[in-house]
Chain A
Amino acid sequence: MHALIQAIILGILTGGVYALMASGQTLIFGIMKVVNLAQGALVVLGAYLTYTLFTTLGIDPFVSILITTPLLFLVGIGLQWALLRPLHGEDVAQLSLLVTFAIALAIEGALSFAYGATLTNVQPTYANYSWTVFGYQISLVRFVAFLLSIVMLGVLYFILQRTKFGRSVRATVQNPMSAQLLGVNANRVSALGFGLGAATAAAAGSVFGMLNSFNPGSHYDLISRLLTIVVLGGLGSIGGSVVAALIMGVASSLVSALASPIWSDFTFFIVLLLVLLLRPRGLFGAKTRGAL
């Protein structure tokens, strides 16, 4: 029983970070109908930036979020403007899949060139600190990472619900033609939306680097987990992706504790397969349009 509850706690804390990564990915899908295969690579990029800021300038990994997030926000806008915006016609969905995969490979290549393929991680002095609460271990880094993800998701929610930009995003998600007819600039919404998606990857990446050993190829594993989460949550639904991330965090943590860590990754693929077979629109996906 103790091991079970310990695994659930760990799963929820990990799931919160995945929720942040996945919310950005599902936001991008909602706006542009683009499955962003580079989301995992952007997380890894965020982790390496954090690593460099920490090892060369001694900037605390949590503090470096204040640098990496705006930086990747701009990178996201640039990527959308340069590579996705020029795509037109009926094949945009397929073409954008190739383009985002190319972005992922380019980031992986650049990181391999700069850092090599050795596994590394970000180890601040408090990396192994943990509390014991009622006999359960709670790692400081995981706990702060979880809180931070919740705060960032709150900021994202506020932007979407309460700002004019947020209204233009929701309008574009729900009815692109109407949004355009009312004066919403689809290109601007797409660019800023892609920027926001990349920004969530950056914030999550800073944390990811403390929780996991990573190398430039880590994005393959990440993107397959993220795809499972956004499909389970329902493509385009941010709330759905948060719930799905928590479910998958707990599920993989339980499998890892009860069976073996080897089976933990496998959990994601089993769930992905089951969702696609039984409920392709996911837990909270709209039947036709995203319900942001």
Chain B
Amino acid sequence: MAAKNSTPELILQISEVTAGYGAGLILKGVNLDVARGEIICLIGPNGAGKSTVLKTVSGLLRPRSGAVMFRGENISALTSRERLSRGVVHVPQDRSLFPAMTVWENVAMGAFILSDQALLRRRLAEVAELFPIVAKRRSASAGSLSGGEQKQVELARSLMLDPALILLDEPSIGLDPRARSSVFASISKLAEDGRTVLLVEQNARSGLAVAHRAAVLEAGVVALTGTGQELLNDPEVARLYLGASARGPAETLAKSV
């Protein structure tokens, strides 16, 4: 909301991006502008290319054509590491912690590219304050935590470089309702601190509720954008995606099997 008051500074501009694996194209000309400080949620059916959008922004996948601009710079050809150092952090969908490392080591890995040890320790302390689990379970191996706890540690780790843009891929997937609401609460908090969050969410209702703005991705293009509230009230969106979110748990189960 805060971002709406002043003229919004665009932090991320995705223009006419096409991308895919092998011969096939998944993204067929995606356009999306993201303003600084907003939470923007991508919804859409399975296979529409939501995760692929995040990958083209973080560098896991290079666009075939089009441009990804971050703070006015074309980052399309940069490596993940170079994008990371510019302030783009990607938290992937599947469990992304290092299961045999401790919680503390995992969070420290979030600042792997930092060489300033004093800064690393300071960030660790800050992050541990934001996410109490980090200090509480610091010596536990990450693999021994519950799904909800792991997600908190993943979010904590994503803050270690003090990023400007955080890409979150289905942060609520596989979590019980309580863990899910605490994840969404954490996401709101991220944006309050001036960070921008690009969120992909299968659970459209929760995603739209937390987001300032949202975009519907269909068959590799952005079909519709609006505020989270507008899309929540859109009858077409409601019919296609919010109704579908009632099937959410079953889909989640099918996915994790």
Please give the residue numbers on chain A whose beta carbons come within 8 Å of chain B beta carbons, in ascending order.
164, 167-168, 170-171, 174-175, 177-185, 289, 291-292
Contacts and interface: CB of A to CB of B under 8 A. Distances in A.
A167 B96 contact: no
A177 B92 contact: yes
A174 B98 contact: yes
Interface stretch (B31-39, B104-112, B207-215, B237-245): B104-112
B92 A178 contact: yes
A180 B98 contact: no
Given A170-B98, A175-B96, A181-B92, 15 more contacts: A168-B112, A171-B112, A174-B98, A175-B95, A178-B92, A178-B98, A179-B98, A181-B58, A181-B60, A182-B110, A183-B84, A183-B112, A184-B112, A185-B81, A289-B99
Contact of A181 (B96, B99, B101, B105): B96
Nearest to A177: B92
A157 to B, nearest CB: 14
A129 B80 CA distance: 57
Contacts of A175: 95-99
B205 interface: no
Interface of B: 58, 60, 80-81, 84-85, 89-90, 92, 95-101, 105, 109-110, 112-113, 157
Contacts of B85: 183
Nearest to A178: B96
Nearest to B160: A182
Given A167-B112, A177-B92, A183 B100 contact: no
B101 A174 contact: yes
Contacts of A177: 60, 92, 96
Given A167-B112, A168-B112, A171-B109, A181 B90 contact: yes
A183 B92 contact: no
13 contacts: A167-B105, A170-B101, A171-B98, A171-B109, A174-B98, A175-B95, A175-B96, A175-B97, A177-B60, A178-B97, A181-B84, A182-B113, A292-B100
Please classify the interface of chain A as helix (H, G, I), strand (E, B), loop, or mixed, using the class held by over half of its residues: helix
Contacts of A168: 112
Contact of A291 (B90, B100, B105, B112): B100
Nearest to B58: A181
B109 A182 contact: yes
Given A167-B105, A177-B60, A177-B92, A182 B99 contact: no
B80 A180 contact: yes
Nearest to B105: A167
A167 to B, nearest CB: 7
B36 to A, nearest CB: 22
Contacts of B92: 177-178, 181
B55 to A, nearest CB: 10
